[in-house]
Chain A
Amino acid sequence: MGTPSVLWNVAKKCFTVGVITLTVSDLFASIVPVRGASMSPTFNPKTNSLLDSLSDDRVLVEKLCLRNYKFSHGDVIVFSSPNNHKEKHVKRIVGLPGDWVGTIYDVVHVPEGHCWVEGDNSASSLDSRSFGPVPLGLVKGRITHILWPPQRVGSVDRKIPQNRVSSS
């Protein structure tokens, strides 16, 4: 019972905890911070430019929706950016495959296997109006609850914009 065996036990415990945490966060749910003001007032309603990382909202992302890729209008999702797969964005689904979505200039058809996302804060949000429909394979999870800050803990509701989408 010397130091090497204690270290080995600690290492084994760390490895086990790490592997199980990674598996749970990949397959069931994880907690992520949301940065930026593109989803105000749902997340980060205070739009001061000194948003330091402690005051960002922390949200619960559930991954069970990735089994069947069945989403509804108004779900808030986390997805990898189509232009840079290392970045992740948080936006709301406005159009599902087959819908016709009205933007300012024209009406866009959402192709099969894709979705149309927009941020709640239309003025400062880079979303499908800039980079087009997002393939559903890039979606990494659905946000169901806000966990931080304590005064805004609660579930994230579906918000469906009126008169902009026609499903077929």
Chain B
Amino acid sequence: MDDYDVRSAASILASVKEQEARFERLTRALEEERRNVSLQLERANLPPERLSVCNMGGSQPLAWQQIVMQEQSPSNQTSLAMMQEPQELVEETVTIEEDPGTPTSHVSVVTSEDGTTRRTETKVTKVVKTITRRTYHPVTVTETLVESKPATPIAEIDPVTKMVKTVTTRTVRQVPLGPDGLPIPDGSSPLGSYTDSIDRRYMKNGDRYITPQATSTLTRSFNNYNDSYTENPEGQYRHYGLHDGYTDMSDNYGSLSRGVNYRPRYAYMPPNNYRPENSYTLPIRKDDYGHVAQPQVPMGSSNVELNRSQPERFHPEPYGLEDDRRSLGPEEEEAYELEPDYSTAGRRTLAGADRGRQMREPIREPARVRGGYEDPIEAELIDERHPYIPSVYTAPLAQPERGSMASLDRLERMGRRSPSIDSIRKDPRWRDPDLPEVIAMLGHPIDPVKSNAAAYLQHLCYENDKIKKDVRHLKGIPILVSLLDHPKAEVHRKACGALRNISYGKDNDNKVAIKNCDGIPALIRLLRKTNDMEVRELITGTLWNLSSYEPLKMVIINHGLQTLTNEVIIPHSGWEQEPNEDSKPRDAEWTTVFKNTSGCLRNVSSDGAEARRRLRECEGLVDALLHALQSAVGKKDMDNKSVENCVCIMRNLSYHVHKEVPGAEKFQDPTANQAPGSGGPQRKKKDDAGCFGGKKAKGRKNGENDKNYDTLDLPKRTEPTKGFELLYQPEVVRLYLSLLTESQNYNTLEAAAGALQNLSAGQWTWSTYIRATVRKEKGLPILVELLRSDSDKVVRAVAIALRNLSIDRRNKDLIGSYAMRDLVSNLPSGQQRPAKNLEEDTVVAILNTIHEIVTDSSENARSLIQAQAIEKLVAINRTSQSPRETKAASHVLQTVWSYKELRNTLNKDGWNKTHFQLTTAALPKGSKSGKPGYDDTTLPLMEKSQGNKKSGSGDVIPMDELGPDGYSTIDQRDKESKYKTGDGSGDVTEREPLKNDTNRKNFLRSNRPSVNLVDACDVKPQPVDSWV
């Protein structure tokens, strides 16, 4: 063989001699020790033999004892023999090892364990240590040799081997001597066989003697040790030398070592060692590679063939799957990393013939691989390997004709090691499991198979709607759901991951399928049970996905609201029910779990009055959300998704508080109710009251509030407010204003403005407070400033908020003076849209706000004229393509014209009555009277339209794909909102009816069917439902 040619006999001899010398020294030292010890023992009046034996028996299992005895003495001989005839002797060595040895020296050694003579012990220990280390790090030995013999690295391997072996043998003998009288931990039981395996391996190498043996297990673990513990780069080299020739080994190695290796490598690019792994994750290279030589060490490939067929090779099968799973690891985290290999692999098979090579190109970055591949699992697999080999055969992966061989092939494919193998086994016996098989494997009795199958499913489903659908049709979803209750973390985690991917997307049938097999309670149950962050992220992510589908919202509320609140929202928000005075308040943690959960609640909070009621009454929820937001403001961290979710929930819960909150009637303001619809004077009176005296007036009605109302402080309460009452306490105004000032996130801005809009609507005491508080907190300039925002929906929300705020007379005056120009500048001038090009909805909202401001205030109408608005209004009225804009504009114009004192000015500017009349084309008279714009603002209906769009727009946050696609989905929300007539962000912007005037409602209805729908929803007699 080449090895032999290369190797120079002299070098071998030299190294062998060196070793020989060392061994002799060691032997002598040991002999000495032994003599010493026995002498001492004799001196001490102990019956040495018996005692030592007793000790042995007590401390060690019998079998172990025997091994020790057998091996100890021959070792000396071995080393001697080896030195003389290195090459041939390798084999002999083994034989010798297996010979029962004479226990002579053993006695002494054991005796030393007694602990009577310290000196002896220490010395022995020392010896043991040195040698032991060698055993675990053959590298060390190699190094020595390399030093002595710088030439021909390959040649050295054999001598090294021998050295190792010999040393090992010795070590075995020493093991029972372990310092504390304990067997050396790592070595203990496997050590004997461990030695064995090493030897055999080397035999193969040197003597072309191939033994198909069952030692791969041990060998592997050996490799792991080697790999993970050696810092020496030699280790890598060594590793190659040893394994690459042995394809079978390295295959095994590849799969196993991943778990162990990854963590240490995490931070940097793994050196050579990494390459095999890459190829590992690229299962289908076979055809592409053809016969191209692999970069690895070429030796031994022919041997490999022989080994291939050995049964031992089946072990790794489960690992093959594990690798699948592993490759999924990152998928869960970073979608874009994922696409690479596995998906292609899977898709190729499932989807058909596409070989998809180019898709395989992006090779996974090592750093992306999660460290998450826990050692425990690894350990578990090792433990279970033997038991489940047989069942692997039954696994559907194996093809019928070849049985286990099929799985073997599969493994190789994965390993993708040696080209020659590929060439020989050209015929494609191996294939990816098809979908029914994978689903069948979910029910496999072996847990790792289940979890691997689930992981593979997750992977297959990633961004593939067809597969999701197929999984559903093949009834895979109920099985996955049932796995959620599986006690093994690995299994329920992977099942959950698969469900998360399946639940994502536009196909609501998948979501319904999860719900139909009680997936939602199962998820909630698991959430209560598990403390594993990753699992919790998966659960809440799945729920978030599910919550985007309207019919499931109530189901989630029914099963999970309190659990989500207690398990996630409250703990992560930092809110404490009973704050400890000593500890400072905790800040919110913007974890993924919190983000997911708040997103889920955000979605479900838009499900109508009942949903809002449930959320408001959910203990601790509002408190915790507020706390989280306050903490966000405190830390000036207001742009993240969690904050956005929280504000949106708050906004939605603030909708209709004045109607829906228990006890709201007490706070209703009777005068206010009649004010809006009725004519100017009456209204004016009310508004004046609102300015300053109004508070008193209201105070009179609700005697209790009197004092506080005057000062506009929060009404004093005997006990601190909590729960839903917090929603409309004037303190929240400052919070929302802070968000409006600081946040850069349009959705957050919109939601905060929407919350103010909701709170300032309606006629009840609290909204009066809120309107006044916004002014006192200098919120009006902040809002006006936001009219200049680039974001359409922000402008819209702010405009409507201003409109509601202007119910307060003082606010109306201020807004009229300071906001008019900004409002007007947002209007399109004629057909030519302004730079911002706002949507119809926004324009209508602004027109309605302007209308509100100029109503009952000729001063404001005057500022409107001064802001050059008439020209724009007339242009809109005449030329706008949108009937709604036309209506709203004409409405403003009519109001302006109604101020007789202004007509003079208007006439001077060249306007006449015709400009302020409805263009005949625009609308029939009847609807005109209806002030069409209002339908938009009076909006209980938004909700419905929202709902309909929801499935698309509603924050299906792509849990599984945070990649570019994922983002596009998020954005989609916004895109989607462009199509809607309703409002911008995917959440319910709920707008308050400004006035409850019946007239308006009428045309509102006629104008918009959706209104009716929504109302009908709420009004419809609910089926009787009794708590028992």
- The answer on A and B forming one complex is no
